[in-house]
Every structure is written in structure tokens, then in C-alpha cells.
Amino acid sequence: MTTDSVPAGGDPRRLLSEVRGLARRVRVDQRVTWFALLVLATVTFVGIPFDWYFLVLRCVGDDAGCQFSRQGVLYYWPPALLLAYAAIAACYVRVARARGLGARVLPYALTGVALTVLFTAAWVAARLYFPSHPQTAPLPYWVLVLDRLVAPWGTIGVALLVLARLERNVALLVFTLGYLTVALVPIDFGWHWQGQDGTVFLPQQIINGTVLLLGAIGFALAGRRRR
């Protein structure tokens, strides 16, 4: 047995701390969270004219109310989201390779693709079911929340939760939970559209896109300060 002291540089606890610190810096260096949020914000804003143009409004009688079908959700959102996730994954891979690192974005991209397929199937099923099963009473609140969750703006948030887990990014997790609250409750900040029935969806979609855009700006500024 030796009683020689271990040099400070060889302290196992210190070495472990340094390794963990290096791993954390590598994860932070790989993050391009701002780009993901910017792409998703762009997709949300570009979808507005598609949702408006392909919206079908049916009104029967004076007091029966109106039913509307957002067909643009099916025409625009599936290909738009698939392209968005492909662009985000490509950006993460490019940044990782430029730094000589491996990218861990594939689970996020695959989750996004799976959720896109899920919401497309759910909305097609709803379009086939509801015309022959008209609702005579308002749907329960939990059904409306579930509907928003499987809608494009809801699946965006669910996929971002996966990205936050992959990046171990607490800031992104907090942001995503806030975004999902805004999109699912929904929270319109008192903005009630006074236009035609065909544009009633505009305030919430603009708010959702604005939240994503502000998040992109915030993460970009935070990343610049770290450098």
C-alpha cells in the first residue's frame, strides 16, 4: 500500500466533473434550437392563406348555425411538416458534422413524421365520420383539447418535447410547455376576431406562429451570448 498523494490533475472526481462539463458543452454546441423554431413558425404563418382558401363553410337556415371544414389542413400541413422536419434534421446534421460530432436529431425527425401521419389519419377519419353523424350538442372540453393536440399545432409541441429531451434542454422544455398551453387551452390573450366566420381561426394561428417566432429569436440571442 502506498501513501503517496494523488495529483490534483488525476483526481477521479475532478476528471469525472471535467468529462461531464465537456459533454454538456458538446450538447450545447450542437443546438440549433432557434432554427427549428424558426422553420416551424414559418410553416405556421405560410399555412394561413392555405387554411383560409380551402376552408369550406356550410350554413343551413338562419338559426341552425354554421359548420366549417378546414380542408387546407389536409392539403397543406402534411407535406409542409414533413419538409420542415427534413430541413431541421439536415441543419442539425450539418452543424454536427462541421464540429466533428454526431447528431442525435433522428428520433425527433421520426417522431415528427409519425405525428404527422397520425394527425392526417385522424383528420381523414373525422371528415368521413362527422358528415354522417352530425353533432346536436357541443363536444366535451376534453374532446376539443384532444382535437387540438392531434392537430398540426399540437403535434409540433409534442415533437418539440422529444427534441428537448434529446438536447437535455430545460429552456426548450419550459418553452414547449408554455407553447402547448397556448395552443391547447387555447389562450388568445383577449384577441377576438371580428371578421367573417371563415377567418375565425386566424387569431389563434397567428398567436401560435408568433410564440414560435419569439422563441426562435430568444434562443438565437441566447446562443449568441454564449459565444
For 37-53, how does the pLDDT look when each residue is reduced to its tens digit (9 = 90+)? 999 999 999 999 888 77
Would you state the pLDDT for residue 75? 86
Cα 59–Cα 60–Cα 63 angle in degrees, nearest 5: 95
Domain that holds residue 110: 26-226
Residue 152 has pLDDT above 70, yes or no: yes
In this prediction, residue 61 has a pLDDT band, given cuts at 50, 70 and 90, of low
The answer to whether the CB of 107 falls within 8 A of the CB of 92 is: no
Amino acid at 82: L
In a domain, 31, yes or no: yes
In a domain, 3, yes or no: no
In a domain, 66, yes or no: yes
Would you state the pLDDT for residue 154? 94
In a domain, 15, yes or no: no
Residues 63-97: pLDDT tens digits? 455 566 667 788 899 999 999 999 999 998 888 77
Would you state the pLDDT for residue 163? 93
CA dist., res. 159 & res. 180, Å (int): 11
CA dist., res. 79 & res. 100, Å (int): 31
Would you state the pLDDT for residue 103? 67
Nearest to 112 by CA among 80, 76, 146: 80
In a domain, 11, yes or no: no
CA dist., res. 185 & res. 142, Å (int): 10
Element housing 56 (H / E)? strand 55-59
What is the DSSP-derived secondary structure letter of residue 63? Answer: T
In this prediction, residue 109 has a pLDDT band, given cuts at 50, 70 and 90, of very high
In a domain, 17, yes or no: no
Residue 176 has pLDDT above 60, yes or no: yes
In this prediction, residue 59 has a pLDDT band, given cuts at 50, 70 and 90, of low
Q: Which three cell numbers stand for residue 175?
A: 418553452
In a domain, 184, yes or no: yes
In a domain, 7, yes or no: no
Residue 218 has pLDDT above 80, yes or no: yes
Would you state the pLDDT for residue 94? 87
Total number of domains in the chain: 1
